[in-house]
Amino acid sequence: MDIGEVTGEWDYRSLPANVRMGRDCWLERKFSFDRFRSERQPGLAFGDRVRAYTWTTFNVEPTGRVDVGDDTVLVGAVFMCREHISIGNRVVISYNVTIADSDFHPLDPEDRIRDAIANSPRGDRTRRPRIESRPVRVEDDVWIGIGAMVLKGVTVGAGARIGPGAVVTADVPAGASVLGNPAHLVEQRD
């Protein structure tokens, strides 16, 4: 293989037409976009000087859109997007982090059986039950620690710190530090 495809030295013009990129972005691994299926315009928008390392993955459904602000560093950010995930400026997302704006499957047991049948190899995907999504918003200067998860509907306020391994299911106030599963507040800076 051409190792440029995993060292950021590939032709970014091969990205889908609905990926908008600012100046001086560096996207290490071409395959980060293998599961990018957005049909929105744009479906993915990078600010300036965004860096996305090898583990970062944009799993975006046709209805989804991801926005990433200026000077943000995505180390191992796995985006699971059905509607909208927005990441602010100067955000740092460390290794093995998942950010999802949907559970991608229904909770109701009968609906899950219908979903299993519709998703089977010979199934009809148009018969999937309605699936909830709620946008995720990560504001400026947030740091997300190793292995954390940020789930649907969450807003992480500016300057907040998400501890390693935290599972964030509720809003995090600006300047707060959260930790644990489910994440709880451990410090609030003004």
Query: Tokens representing 27?
Result: 């996207």
Q: What is the 8-class DSSP label of residue 136?
A: E
Binding mask 139-158 for another protein (x = CB under 8 A): ----xxxxx-----------
Using the rule CB under 8 A, is 90 a contact of another protein? Answer: yes
> Which residues, in sequence order, are bridge partners of residue 162?
144, 178
Binding mask 14-33 for another protein (x = CB under 8 A): --------------------
Out of 18, 54, 63, 169, name the contact with another protein by CB under 8 A. 54
84 counts as catalytic: no
Among 35, 49, 90, 105, the one annotated catalytic: 105
Quote the CA–CA distance of 167 and 143 in Å, as a whole number: 14
Using the rule CB under 8 A, is 73 a contact of another protein? Answer: yes
Using the rule CB under 8 A, is 185 a contact of another protein? Answer: no
Tell me the number of residues near another protein by CB under 8 A. Answer: 28
Query: Tokens representing 186?
Result: 């451990």
Specify the amino acid at residue 55: W
At its nearest, how many Å lie between another protein and the CB of residue 136? 19
Query: Tokens representing 171?
Result: 């809003």
Asked whether the beta carbons of 54 and 29 are under 8 A apart, the reply is yes
Q: Please, which of residues 92-131 interact with another protein by CB under 8 A?
A: 92, 94-96
Across 80-112, b (16+ Cβ under 10 Å) vs e yields bbbbbbbbbbbbbbbebbbbbbbeeebeeeeee
Tell me the catalytic residues.
Answer: 105
What residues make contact with another protein under the rule CB under 8 A? 1, 3, 6-7, 51, 53-54, 71, 73, 75, 90, 92, 94-96, 143-147, 161, 163-166, 179-181
